[in-house]
Amino acid sequence: MEKTIEETKQGESLVLEAKSTNTKKLFIESYGCSMNFSDSEIVASILSENGFNTTQILEEADLVLVNTCSIRDKAEQTVRKRLEKYNAVKKRVNPKMKVGVLGCMAERLKEQFLEQEKIVDLVVGPDAYKDLPNLLMEVEEGRDAINVILSKEETYGDIAPVRLMSNGVTALVSITRGCDNMCTFCVVPFTRGRERSREPQSIMKEIQELWDSGYKEITLLGQNVDSYLWYGGGLKKDFVKASDMQKATAVDFDQLLDMVATAFPKMRIRFSTSNPQDMHESVLHIIAKHDNICKHIHLPVQSGSDRILKEMNRLHTREQYMRLIDNIRRILPDCEITQDMIAGFPTETEQDHQDTLSLMEYVKYNFGYMYAYSERPGTLAGRKMEDDVPEATKLRRLQEIVDLQRKHSGERTKTYVGKTVEVLVEKASKKSENDWAGRNPQSLMVVFPKEHYKVGDFVNVKITDCTSGTLIGTAVGYSDMN
């Protein structure tokens, strides 16, 4: 998976507007990428139809679910600590509480959680959420409940997600599930299964419902959105067997992006995450064609060394990646590019690390998600490669990557000082209740005085100052998107 669409260091409790007929209470937390947060909205929708309202009070919950991430060991350790807390509350306050694990970690550690450690009552993988009502019946009858079977078809396109903890302005819309890219460091193909795409009409229907409800921005979401391909169902790899009619009427990602942007010209469109090998120039031209498609591309590279890219089974070279960057800069000169980077992958030498730093100098990313390599059991790297880079060396290299990214981020934000940018107001600023915060099309956070503006407004803001990650300015009026 092109990990981290938007990663969080802490879980988020999600709350659903209560149904008066529901009598049971659900407490649900999500960790990891945006796909997990999107999945939690699906889970809450399914359980809402089965008697549950959500709550933010752990102690009063009848059912506690944690939607998990297995990308790195640190994420798993965080979830384990939360499970310890859930069970402590269950023992001390609410013995009837049931505890369940959802998502990637559920699939990977199913037997350990249920049979060895006995710290959960149910384990549900990413493709089995529709089975939750049946699994809860199993739990009520005193049996452990588990379903982690991976599907070749499930996209949840027929489920209307509830918008949990929503600002009423921005929303996630899942378009693909799973991943076919067998990067040697990544667990996602094993925990989320093969790549499959959602039927385009159901995507358009969901976006229409969001627009009718007042939402102003969506993010088209998937482990690898650029490989989206709908031809009537089935896995992407089976497209070669499709009929001529299926191939003639197939919809790929640039066509879907064009459809959405054309149908909803006053709605901002984002997408994440992209895989360098699958992002074709045609997508860049679609972005350039539509003012409402945001000029921001998250383009994970993981390493600047050709040798390490090959060890990672990344299906692009340094040169190919740089050529893609050149095309983005040429076709979308006002586009910002962000990255994922891994420091200390097995066998990484000092020269490999220098290749990563030099690639960063070439691209000058606006932002990045940067990590020291964490061995993931079950991956090819975990099975076949010795984690041979000393921890101190990993951390030193990571710090050098972070320092360089901070420098580039500062340089990129300074270029906006004196310019006027369009901002979608999303929330109050964390630092001052007198200021609004929202993102510009390049996904930079902008802070400006509230005045008479409100959440959901598109506002033109003149930038007067900046930090390495935030633009600061003054509103000069509404934008044409209103």
Predicted confidence at residue 335, as pLDDT, reads 98
pLDDT tens-digit map of 262-282: 999 999 999 999 999 999 999
Predicted confidence at residue 284, as pLDDT, reads 98
Predicted confidence at residue 20, as pLDDT, reads 60
Q: Token match 């005193």: residue?
A: 142
Predicted confidence at residue 176, as pLDDT, reads 94
pTM of the full structure: 0.90
Predicted confidence at residue 7, as pLDDT, reads 36
Predicted confidence at residue 8, as pLDDT, reads 38
| 250/243 Cα distance (integer angstroms) | 10
Q: Token match 């947060």: residue?
A: 37
Task: Find out whether 459 and 453 touch, Cβ atoms under 8 Å.
Answer: yes
Q: Token match 């939607």: residue?
A: 67
| 315/181 Cα distance (integer angstroms) | 8
Predicted confidence at residue 10, as pLDDT, reads 43
pLDDT tens-digit map of 94-110: 999 999 999 888 877 77
CA nearest neighbour of 341 among 415, 283, 403: 403
- Please report, as a single letter, which amino acid is at residue 136: L
Which stretches of the chain drop beneath a pLDDT of 70? 1-20
What separation, in Å, do the N-terminal and C-terminal C-alpha atoms of the chain show?
A: 36
What is the secondary structure of 225-271 as a DSSP string? GGG-EESSSS-GGGGGGS-HHHHHT-EEHHHHHHHHHHH-TTSEEEE
- Side-chain-side CA neighbours of 230 within 13 Å: the count stands at 20
